[in-house]
Structures are given as C-alpha cells and as structure tokens.
C-alpha cells in the first residue's frame, strides 16, 4: 500500500512541476480574493484520488477541491493536492502535495511532498518521521529568544487580521524572527526537520495540516490549538513546535492575539 501511495504522490507532484509556468491568467479562478485555484490543483487531486482508491479500496475522501464525493468512513484520505497555490502560480518554487490517512478518526499516516526539492516527508503513527527514507527530528532549541518561527497570514475580518499581526511584531522584536513561506504543509515538514522551532497559523483547514501534524509529532514535536488543546485539525488554530517552546509561544499568542479579539 505504502509504495503505491508514494508512487501516486510523486506522479501528482511531477504533473504539478511540469505545469509550473504554464498556467495562463485566464486559467486562474478566484475562489475568493486570496484563494486561487486552477486546473493544476484539480487534475492533481483527481490523480491522487484514483491512485489512493486503488491503494486502499473502500476508503473515502476529504479533499480541498472536492473533485470526488466527500465521505465519512473507517479509512479516510485527507488531501490537499497543491498546498501553496499562490506560490505555484507566481513561480515561487515552494509548494507541496499533502496526503494524510485517517483510521477511525485518528491520523495514522501522513505524507508531505516538497515538490521542487524532491523531498518526501513521511510519518506513521508510533514509527517515527522521515525525509526520503532518512529519520528526521525536531530542533533541540529550548529558548524562544533563539527560535525561528514560521506562519501564514489569515484573511478575513480586518480587526482580527490586525490583531494577529501583533504576534508577528512580538516575535520579530523578541526572537530570532519569523518567515512566511506560503505552504502550511511545508512549514510543518520544516518544523519536523528542525529548520524551524515553531509554526503557528489561524484559519487553516484540516487538509493543510493533517499530514504535517503527524510528521511533526513523530519527529518529536508537539501540536496543539492556540489554547493548548488538541482541536487543531478542524479547530482552525494550530501551534506546532519542537516540544520545547510550546508554553512560551502559547503565552505570546494569548497575550498579543487571543486576548485582543475576545
């Protein structure tokens, strides 16, 4: 099953890579002002659905582009066929395929394919995390002052977005800094690999974080929602850290963001 899944993900990734630079302005649809999609996302999703259905017959799907019936079932694939669509459409070489496998409501396997770096991140519950077959682990840094974080910006109510930016201000002044890469799945994979100490984001969907979260956990990190709970998959709030700065980052998010929007 695993090798069929990985072959499918790499084929979808190869398709996306081959289409880079070819999408015309007319082929870009706006789901909303900042939420873009093209035939590339949809075709990649169809390729994934076909291959993954063959790998695990009777499985059901939760997918961003809803090219297949969305279902509930014992085995469910949670898929973002192209995470980082804006980067992809602007020729910025950082976008990924994110595939998670859920069994009876629990994520048991996850893959994030960093397409342009040919980096396939994988984790299986209880069995560790890997990049192209080699074990990976989170950073050992335990001082938030020396932490490099990564985030993404939410869209929506201006006052909420403005408050969210307070976190960025604090981390910029008081820590090593913050990056915004444009693919949440890659952000998580890079936390798992120790490149970043932390990732936090507001208003993501399950398909953005399902695979990457398991990879972080299996690499030794910790995932929570903004209040330290475990509602990060569907709760639209996520903090992922190396496990050593969760408390400090939660405090920053509470003081500079949550307390301001309540």
Residues that bind ligand IPD (CB under 6 A): 35, 80, 83-86, 152, 182-184, 204, 208
Beta strands in the chain (DSSP E): 29-32, 35-37, 60-63, 75-83, 96-103, 106-114, 119-124, 129-131, 134-135, 148-151, 177-179, 198-202, 222-224, 237-241
- Please say whether the beta carbons of 96 and 84 come within 8 A: yes
Task: Determine the Cα–Cα distance for residues 149 and 177; give it in Å rounded to an integer.
Answer: 6
Could you tell me the smallest distance in angstroms from the CB atom of residue 80 to ligand IPD? 5
Q: How far is CA 24 from CA 27, 66, 223, in A?
A: 5, 23, 38
Residue 102 interacts with Ca ion (CB under 5 A): yes or no: no
Nearest residue (CB) to Ca ion, 5 versus 40: 40
Q: Which stretch binds Ca ion (CB under 5 A): 17-25, 58-66, 223-231, 239-247?
A: 58-66
Residue nearest to Ca ion (CB): 83
Pull the structure tokens for residue 46.
């169809």
Q: Which stretch binds Ca ion (CB under 5 A): 56-64, 99-107, 115-123, 152-160?
A: 56-64
Greatest alpha-carbon pair distance for the chain in Å reads: 51
Residue 64 interacts with Ca ion (CB under 5 A): yes or no: yes
Quick count: other Cβ atoms within 10 Å of Cβ 90? 10
Could you tell me the smallest distance in angstroms from the CB atom of residue 134 to Ca ion? 26
Could you tell me the smallest distance in angstroms from the CB atom of residue 187 to ligand IPD? 7
Nearest residue (CB) to ligand IPD, 31 versus 127: 31
Residue 114 interacts with Ca ion (CB under 5 A): yes or no: no
Nearest residue (CB) to ligand IPD, 98 versus 244: 98
Q: How many residues bind Ca ion (CB under 5 A)?
A: 5
């Amino acid at each position: 099953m695993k090798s069929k899944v990985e072959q499918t993900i790499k084929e979808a990734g190869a398709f996306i890579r081959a289409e880079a630079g070819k999408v015309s302005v007319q082929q870009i649809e706006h789901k909303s002002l900042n939420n873009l999609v093209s035939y590339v996302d949809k075709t990649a999703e169809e390729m994934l659905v076909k291959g993954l259905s063959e790998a695990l017959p009777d499985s059901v799907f939760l997918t961003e582009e809803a090219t297949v019936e969305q279902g509930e079932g014992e085995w469910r694939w949670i898929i973002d066929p192209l995470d980082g669509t804006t980067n992809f459409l602007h020729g910025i070489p950082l976008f990924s395929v994110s595939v998670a496998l859920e069994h009876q409501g629990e994520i048991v396997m996850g893959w994030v394919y960093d397409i342009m770096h040919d980096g396939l991140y994988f984790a299986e519950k209880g069995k560790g995390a890997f990049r192209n077959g080699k074990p990976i682990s989170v950073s050992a840094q335990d001082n938030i002052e020396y932490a490099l974080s990564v985030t993404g910006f939410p869209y929506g109510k201006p006052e909420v977005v403005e408050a969210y930016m307070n976190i960025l201000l604090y981390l910029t002044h008081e820590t090593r800094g913050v990056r915004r890469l444009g693919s949440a799945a890659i952000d998580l994979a890079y936390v798992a690999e120790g490149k970043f100490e932390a990732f936090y984001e507001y208003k993501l969907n399950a398909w953005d974080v399902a695979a990457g979260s398991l990879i972080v956990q299996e690499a030794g990190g910790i995932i929570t929602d903004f209040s330290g709970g475990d509602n990060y998959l569907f709760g639209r709030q996520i903090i992922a850290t190396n496990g050593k700065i969760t408390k400090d980052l939660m405090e920053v998010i509470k003081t500079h963001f949550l307390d301001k929007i309540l």
